Amino acid sequence: MKRVVVIGGGVTGVLSAWELVRAGHEVTLIEARALGNGASSRSAAGIRAQFGVPSTVRGLVYAERFFETWTERFPQSQPCFKQNGYLFLKSYQDDLDAVRELVRMQRETGLAEVEFLDKAEIDERWPYLDTTGVAAATWCLRDGFLLPPIIYQDAAEAARALGATVVQNDAVVGAERSGPRAAAVTLASGRRVEADVFVNATGFLANATSKLFGGRELPITVERRYLYFLAGLKADSDWGLGLEDFARLPMTITPAGAYGRPENTQLMMGWLQFPKPAEATLDNQDEVEPGFGVGMGDYGAAVRKEVTQVLPAAQDMGRLTAVTTGFYDTTPDHNPLFGYDGRVENLVHAVGMSGHGLMHSPFSALIVAELVARGADIASFELPDGIGPVDLAIYGLDRAFDRHEGLVI
């Protein structure tokens, strides 16, 4: 049994705390604000196992099974996973042989449900999509979207019931060292918490947290991302999308990378853009930069136009009603960072999720629990339920960043 402090009350930190207390450790979870106050509550909340790195495919197969059986693991909770699927549309300019090879790898790695579809199959399954210029797609019905508040609130309550201490609205402001190891953290309230292992799960604040301990500079760039919302359908669309179809609409990604999905009665949309690195704090998470609002000349209009290219029924969904924003903690290869700091022997980093923290969180929590149990970095470990081994070197802090995750939206 070890005394473990987990810093960061988003989904990664909360599920890590739950896994650690289940393993018999004495756990204190510390969140500077309320649980989920960072990216977890501002996420597009998608989950998919369609990735380009085999270890991530396996990890997300595990994560999807985890969320499919959520109420078995957390009987006091409610379902948190809506499996509408992910549909990645591909154009004639895409390398379709490479796309087929990607699907083959995913299937061999354990994602049995993923399919390569030609244009005729897309038209048959989703007749309300405009497939002009679309050559093919990849599709997985097990993918979908999550309900983040259920996850971080109910998992934290379960961890507390098992004996974890959950501290909210009390930031870590200092760390004490004893030689090459951290000995304790000090909170804004003046409280002091000693531990044997400290876990940095603070997302876009990861480098600030590492600096408090005297740890390394992590290769993370903080970037702002936006989500836009249309009012949604009030009746069946003239473009062939009915109200029932809308409720079942998959996360649909255009060949250019824009996406849309139902969010209650609204259509949520986003599109990867490349802003300047952000100066991120807990207080400026919701600031919308000039040009990224919902006005006629703003980025939201461009996102809507791109989504409408493949989902013409978006024209019947009213006006842009809202824009929300938050931060990604992005690594050079878009793979996360897991491992011991090196400068601080007992500081574990679980950060750099590159926009995939929510979907990754059950897998991340397993990795954290394994690192704490071993007391050192590990090259690989076996996922449960026969899913298979995962290579953790690809997530290591000292990796070469030469194996890029290409499926980033």
Q: Which tens digits make up the pLDDT trace of 280-300?
A: 999 999 999 999 999 989 999
User: If you count them, how many residues does the chain have?
Assistant: 409
CATH superfamily of 3-66+148-219+332-395: FAD/NAD(P)-binding domain (3.50.50.60)
Token pair 């196992």 is at which residue?
Answer: 49
> 10-34 burial by CB neighbour count: b if 16+ within 10 A, else e?
bbbbbbbbbbbbbeebbbbbbbbee
224 close to 213: Cβ distance less than 8 angstroms: no
H or E stretch covering 229 = strand 221-230
Q: Which tens digits make up the pLDDT trace of 246-281?
A: 999 999 999 999 999 999 999 999 998 766 677 899
The reported pLDDT for the residue numbered 121 is: 99
User: How many angstroms separate the CA atoms of 85 and 160, rounded?
Assistant: 33
Per-residue confidence band for 408, with pLDDT thresholds at 50, 70 and 90 = confident
Range(s) of the chain covered by CATH 3.50.50.60? 3-66+148-219+332-395
Rounded to a whole number of angstroms, the distance between the first and last alpha carbons of the chain is 40
**Mean pLDDT throughout 189-201?**
99
Per-residue confidence band for 343, with pLDDT thresholds at 50, 70 and 90 = very high
**Mean pLDDT throughout 347-353?**
99
Provide the 3-class DSSP secondary structure of residue 381: strand
Q: Which tens digits make up the pLDDT trace of 121-148?
A: 999 999 999 999 999 999 999 999 999 9
Q: Which CATH architecture has domain 83-143+222-329?
A: 2-Layer Sandwich (3.30)
Range(s) of the chain covered by CATH 3.30.9.10? 83-143+222-329
Q: Which tens digits make up the pLDDT trace of 212-253?
A: 999 999 999 999 999 999 999 999 999 999 999 999 999 999
User: How many angstroms separate the CA atoms of 226 and 409, rounded?
Assistant: 12
The reported pLDDT for the residue numbered 404 is: 83
**Strand pairing of 26-30 and 251-253?**
unpaired
The reported pLDDT for the residue numbered 275 is: 63
**Mean pLDDT throughout 327-353?**
98
What percentage of the chain exceeds 70 in pLDDT? 99
The structure tokens listed for 14 are: 């909360």
Q: Which tens digits make up the pLDDT trace of 78-110?
A: 999 999 999 999 999 999 999 999 999 999 999
pLDDT above 80: residue 372: yes
Token pair 């990735």 is at which residue?
Answer: 51
**Mean pLDDT throughout 48-55?**
97
The structure tokens listed for 239 are: 């473009």
The reported pLDDT for the residue numbered 128 is: 98
The structure tokens listed for 184 are: 């304790």
Torsion of CA 38, 396, 349, 360, to 10 degrees: 40
**Mean pLDDT throughout 316-334?**
96
Over the chain, what is the mean pLDDT? 97
The reported pLDDT for the residue numbered 407 is: 79
What percentage of the chain exceeds 90 in pLDDT? 96
Token pair 């853009």 is at which residue?
Answer: 273
